[in-house]
Structure 1
Amino acid sequence: MMKTFCGRTNPTSGALDWVESEEDYHQEIARSCYADMLHDHDRNEKYYQGIRAAVARLKARDERVVVLDIGTGTGLLSMMAITAGADFSYAVEVFKPMAEAAQCIIQKNGFSDKIKIINKHSTDVTVGPDGDMQEKANLLITELFDTELIGEGALPSYEHAHQNLVQEGCEAVPHRATVYAQLVESELLWSWAQLQSMEVEGARLVPPPAIGHCAGAHSVCDIQLSQVPPACFTPLSPLCTMFSVDFSKPVSSASQSHSSKFVAQSGGRAQVVLSWWDLDMDPSGTIVCTMAPSWMYPQPTMAPWRDHWMQSVYFLPVESQVAPGDELSLTVCHDDYSLWYSLQSLSQKEVQSESPPSRPCCTCQAHLVWTRPRFGELNDRRRTESYVSALRNVLSEDSVCLSVSDGSLLPVFARMLGAKKVFSLENSRMSKKVIEQVLEANSMTGGVELLEIRPEQLSSQDVGEEQISILMGEPFFSSSLLPWHSLSFWYRRTAVAGLLRPSVTILPCSASLHMVAVEFQDLWRIRAPCGTCEGFDVTPMDEMVQRSLDFRESREAEPHPLWEYPCRALTQSAAVMTFDFTRCVPQQPISSQGSLPFIRNGRCHGVALWMEMHLTDDITVSAGLTRPITEQGDCEWTRHRKQGVYFFRSPWESSGDGRTAVSYSFTFEPSLGDIKMDFSQCTSVSD
């Protein structure tokens, strides 16, 4: 067992701490996407079909089949190749824990004499009598792709392989990749890219010009696009074929651009590009593995589910108006690791220079401070109305407010509502600058004082000897991962207790932790045991690796944006812990126990957990469910925050008659700022 250092959010301080972990590398494997890939039967089947066809073509030419498998993972694709008749495979895996696991797997399945694991990056592999490979390969098999296709360095790896590791005219599986894109207008998606104007008590809060003119962050927004209904966007273009890469021929990692001309099929605001890709596993394109979202299928329910490859959303640098019939050109550019898009009318394109658009870069800093879900949260009108209503209820003309959230607009709202003075603690200089821009754009620089200081360092001199009458927070903290990390607000409230008036108003006044037992439609696959792959007679998981994937022994929840992962509630939802922010953080642990009867039949994969903030006695903001669970158990989750998911080691069967229940135990440890939890299946108390 080796010790490792892991980054963990410290809720008591809001900082990221590096802690020594006693867990061995099995945990590293468990938290990767290997289980998801091994459960992707469509992917496995298409790869196996392509490999068998490629081996057959080489054998038909009387060639000895030598495989180079880059990014072998568990060794599955190499084992497929040997089973299909290949003579030998060099399986390259740079991630040491996975390379060691792959060695055990191929040994267990009897392939040790025909597969060599090479624990290196493929660009460091050598060929020759004393090299890692004795000879160059004539069959190149790879799984180097991410949601953006090239984000894991596929192009440099292919370029090096063709120059150094494979024969000229080799076969490749996959043979070809093709990238597709569609231009759309979408109020929902665009809200993730730009801060929008909003109404506050009859006054308009406008975004700073610098944010509106900024091209935004260059990184891809990868999501389960199948969960964005077609009603949420308007297609302005047909589906465009942007470019293809033939992996059987030399590949260049140099920056390139490709354009697709089209006639606008409808009018609207050109804002967003939806993109995905296909893999042709054979030269004829008869074996295709597509990443298209489910609504592109004639029968959406037949679309394969996968989480290791999703779809991409790209935001144009600026939105532009498009009329039906406009002749346009959509351009995609890429370097060796990322893609970006731009739009031109054909008349504009003729007079513009031939140099491709440069990669978008944030110049306003807001896109570095706020994530895309955070932009969506700030633009959520209903949520804004809740905070404004709560502030209106507690503010008076002599109110002195202190905000302890990260990059929050609450100080701006408080000033607009007439607070005498507003102080705001900002976690970074960059965050402070962004809020300063908002204040300047709305001519409010004199009423809000931004302090780049930690709560425990705040003194009465910093707030002008004023006593704080309203302490507020959303609460949002950029370092938070799990829902209860928002309890950092409680610790900050405690740190500044000496500066608060005896009659201080705390907003939110309390919070509650909620849970519901659920059956996931697909998310369960990422933590499900992996046995024999369907349609292929090898076991990709041996006992060691299976233990890796069964990481739930650690009794920890993990964060997931559940709006992307449909689930069905098998119990009622319930508040299982409450936290009173009007008091300081207690020194002793807080515990809660109980049970929730199963009221619907199904397979219970685990528990969903979220926080609800009670701004006042009658105004609550949920970071989980956005509406009551339906009679069928359907859940609707906020798109702005991740929820906690605690997976059970194996699914529990529920008959839905209330005879069995989920028994829970929660303990909040004030010294750690964390919540320990345990669940078990029991006979319902009501039985």
Structure 2
Amino acid sequence: MLLVENPETVPYKATTYGQLVESTFLWKLHDLHGNEAKASDGILLVPTGLDNILGVKPQQYAFHCDAIGKEVKLLSEPFKIFEFDFWKRPDSHGETEVHVKSTNDGRVHAVISWWILQLDREGTIFYSTAPRWISLPGNTSHGDWCDHWKQCVWFVPGEGMSITKDEEVCLHAVHTDISISYNLKNQASRNEIMQYGFKNGDFKLILPPERIAIYGDSEWRHTMFSAISNSLQGRVDPLCIVADDSIFLTLLVAHLSKTSHVMSFFPGLQDKGFQYLQAVANSNGFSIDRVEFLNKRKTKLTMHDTHQKKVDLLIGEPFYYGMDGMLPWQNLRFWNERTMLDSVLSQDALILPCKAILKACALSVPDLWNSRCCLSKIEGFDHSVVNSTLGACGELPAEQECPCLPYFIWQCGNVKKLSEAFTVMEFDCSKPITSSCGKTQVEFTEPGICHGFALWIDWVMDSENSLVVSTGPEKRYWKQGVKLLAEPVAVRTNESRSTGECRSAVIQALFDPSSGDLNVRHAFS
């Protein structure tokens, strides 16, 4: 309303592009029904006929696609989807159909998309968020790794769409003021749009993509199955409390023990968790009467709430809905809630997980460190005022510590491990919560530039320490905590003869149960 006609704008135009891809990893992030078929535990999170009862939200997900470049099979050339001319009033709603010719046989699991900005009217200056495998006319700005611009991933429903080379598929794209969404159709689908096929009003439990992948992971399920089945042996009419948002563990206990009574808190899912259980109970061979949703504060739980019966089994994954972007040790909330329930636990009650181990690893992460580095003058402008607001790291005053940040390490650009994983400290969940501290010396196994440390929790699910669920970077389903250094440090191994570089470091951590904070400090030698 305030602009003159045909104004100058910077940027001048944006174009969104897409590409059809096949990727087993991306498929695991959304198709629980297809992946659950490989499990042998008898638990049906998405029973046949209820394929859409549990899934991800149909939206685009921000993703560093370069990190999975070797796991992606390209099934089309890049194609243009929308053009936005910033010099004219934008449309609040837009639709288009793009006919895409496949370049390979395969199964379309996802649409990867990105945008290219044309900053000037003449079309000589561009900025691109395309993955590195893309080469487009005008796409001259691959640039360095950055955390703030990623690609977008749109999951194709179910097991995806099977296509053959040179087959044409139609991408139907819609944009609103704030989002872009896609649907696919081809001849095999008889012109019916492939979309998330639940009707308005049908119940659907929405979980994050990484949670869907975990629930479809056979190894993870086997660990949980073994831990719970072992803990139920010899127990008659056990009372079990699921302290977190785990629908899997609730189903597992009710399925394994036909005489059990299960109480679930669902602190994040709330009644949606119980609605889900009601829908899948019959398919999992138990009566919903044996499952109870405790919709109240754990601090007020009494023997009246447990029907005058002591709790035999207190369990969690731990998983708290809505906390996926938090630091790993904030799931020690489970330890805190175990403490609040102490008065209703039986003398021989089993607590699973029984122990949490804080693990760490020294890292060279130049891309991440640079992206979090304090700002000073940029193109002549002083930006330092925003450093504290943004939580900037690197080049800090000597007395100032860098904060711990939650990141998927494997998506942090160039990453090199400089040490083996080591234990910083342990938390005994079988006892009430208490302040904890740990100190350990780290020996470097690789020479390089150390930019910080990755920290995560290994959850021990049995007293023999044989069943462990690690939230480290290997599985790629969990975020780790990253403690960046104020200044990078050159390190070497003990065998190295070079001088002037550090051979080891001491890591010290202090856990405060009143806040759930973990204070991590380091010293190199």
TM over 0.5: yes
Structure 2 CA distance for aligned equivalents of residues 550 and 374 of structure 1: 28
Displacement of 1:504 in angstroms is 1.8
Q: Structure 1 residues 442, 392: closer, same or farther in 2, change over 3 A?
A: closer
One-letter amino acid of the counterpart of residue 592, structure 1:
G
Provide the C-alpha distance between the structure 2 equivalents of 1:603 and 1:372, rounded to a whole number of angstroms.
Answer: 33
Q: How much does 1:219 deviate?
A: 3.9
Equivalent position to 1:514, from 359, 364, 371: 359
Show the counterpart of 2:458: 612
Aligned counterpart in structure 2 of residue 291 of structure 1, from 109, 129, 133: 129
Does 1:227 find its partner at 2:67? yes
Distance in 1 of aligned mates of 2:10 and 2:422:
50
SS of structure 1 residue aligned to 2:318: coil
Residues 538-592 of structure 1: CA deviation (Å, up to 9, x unaligned): 25435x4456667553653121121211422223321111011111223xx3222
Q: Would the aligned equivalents of 2:459 and 2:468 in 1 still touch at CA under 8 Å?
A: yes
Structure 1 residues 323 and 201 mapped into 2: Cα distance closer, same or farther (>3 Å)? closer
CA shift for structure 1 position 648? 1.6
* Residue identity in the other structure for 1:563: W
1:437 partnered with 2:274:
no
Q: Counterpart of 2:6 in 1: which secondary structure?
A: strand
Partner of 1:134: none
The reply to whether residue 558 of structure 1 matches residue 405 of structure 2 is: yes
Identify the residue that residue 250 of structure 2 maps to in structure 1: 411
1:204 Cα deviation from its structure 2 partner: 5.1
Report the more deviating stretch, 423-432 or 577-586. Answer: 423-432
* Aligned-partner SS, 1:512: strand
- Bigger helix fraction: 1
Tell me which residue corresponds to 2:52. Answer: 212
CA contact (8 A) 1:491 1:585 kept: yes
Q: Does 1:475 align with 2:318?
A: yes
What percentage of aligned pairs have identical amino acids?
Answer: 26
User: What is aligned with 1:25?
Assistant: none
Q: Relative to 1, partners in 2 of residues 1:550 and 1:359: Cα closer, same or farther, differing over 3 Å?
A: same
**Contact (CA 8 Å) 2:254, 2:291: kept in 1 or not?**
yes
- Structure 2 stretches of 5 or more lacking a match? 394-399, 496-501
- TM alignment of 1:251-262, pairs within 5 A: 251-262=89-100
Question: 1:440-451 to 2 correspondence within 5 Å?
Answer: 440-446=282-288, 447-451=290-294
Structure 1 residue 457: deviation in Å? Answer: 2.7
Tell me what 1:308 maps to: 148
Q: Does 1:426 align with 2:426?
A: no
Amino acid at match of 1:453: K
Q: In the TM superposition, what whole-angstrom CA distance separates every residue of 1:19-67 from its partner, at most 9, and x where no partner exists?
A: xxxxxxxxxxxxxxxxxxxxxxxxxxxxxxxxxxxxxxxxxxxxxxxxx
Displacement after TM superposition at 1:198 (Å)? 4.7
1:371 alignment partner in structure 2: 208
Per the TM alignment, residue 511 of structure 1 is displaced from its structure 2 partner at its CA by: 0.7
Question: Aligned with 1:511: secondary structure?
Answer: strand
| 2:45/2:54 contact within 8 Å kept | no
| Structure 1 residues 153-194: Cα deviation after superposition (integer angstroms, max 9, x where no partner) | xxxxxxxxxx422x3333333332211112234332233234
Q: Give 1:268 shift.
A: 4.5
Q: Which of residues 114, 118, 122 in structure 2 aligns to 1:280?
A: 118
C-alpha spacing 1:654/1:243, structure 2 compared with 1 (3 Å)? same
Equivalent pair of 2:402/2:485 in contact (CA under 8 Å): no
Q: Aligned equivalents of 1:508 and 1:350: distance in 2?
A: 49
Q: Is the 8 A contact 2:53 2:204 kept in 1?
A: no
- The CA deviation string for residues 622-644 of structure 1, in whole angstroms up to 9 with x for no partner, is 01143xxxxxxxxxxx3222111
CA distance in 2, matches of 1:615, 1:378: 17
For residue 32 of structure 2, what is the aligned residue in structure 1?
195
> 1:181–1:273: 8 Å Cα contact kept in structure 2?
yes
CA drift of 1:350 comes to: 7.4
Give, in whole Å, the separation in 2 of the partners of 1:362 and 1:419. Answer: 32
**Deviation for aligned residue 1:470:** 2.1
- In structure 2, C-alpha distance between the alignment counterparts of 1:319 and 1:201, rounded to whole Å: 20
Report the equivalent of 1:334: 175
Q: CA shift at 1:291, angstroms?
A: 1.2
Q: 1:539 to 1:655 in 2, by over 3 A?
A: farther
- Does the CA contact (< 8 Å) of 2:10 and 2:119 recur in 1? yes
Aligned residues: 494
Tell me, in whole angstroms, the C-alpha distance in 1 between the residues paired with 2:333 and 2:64: 30
Q: Does 1:530 align with 2:394?
A: no
- Indicate yes or no: 2:522 matched with 1:675: no
Cα distance change of structure 1 residues 506 and 340 upon mapping to structure 2, 3 Å threshold: same
The two structures have a TM-score, normalised by structure 2, of 0.84
- Tell whether 2:446 aligns with 1:597: no
Contact 2:271 2:293 in 1 (8 A): no
**Superposed displacement of residue 463, structure 1:** 3.1
Q: Is the 8 A contact 2:401 2:486 kept in 1?
A: no
Aligned mate of 1:343, from 165, 173, 184: 184
Match among 4, 9, 19 for residue 182 of structure 1: 19
For 1:527 and 1:623, locate their aligned partners in 2 and report how far apart those are by CA, in whole Å. 23
Task: Return closer, same or farther for 1:361/1:380 CA change in 2, 3 Å cut-off.
Answer: farther
Q: Compute the displacement of 1:515 (Å).
A: 1.4
Secondary structure, in 3 states, of the residue corresponding to 1:170? Answer: coil
- Residue 240 of structure 2 corresponds to residue 401 of structure 1: yes
Structure 1 residues 198 and 387, CA gap change in structure 2 (3 angstroms) = farther
Provide the secondary structure at the position in 1 that maps to 2:133.
helix
1:524 to partner: Cα distance: 0.8
The CA deviation at 1:493 is 1.3
Query: C-alpha separation between the residues in 2 aligned to 1:454 and 1:530?
Result: 44
Uncovered stretches (5+) of structure 1, i.e. residues with no partner: 1-162, 627-637
Distance change in 2, residues 1:201/1:458 (3 Å): farther
Amino acid at match of 2:301: L
Higher alpha-carbon Rg = 1
C-alpha spacing 1:229/1:282, structure 2 compared with 1 (3 Å)? same
1:444: Cα distance to partner? 2.4
Query: Aligned equivalents of 2:200 and 2:73: distance in 1?
Result: 26
Moved more, 176-185 or 393-402: 393-402
1:567 aligns with 2:425: no
Write the letter of the residue equivalent to 1:336: D
Normalised by the length of structure 1, the TM-score is 0.65
> Structure 1: which amino acid aligns with 2:172?
T
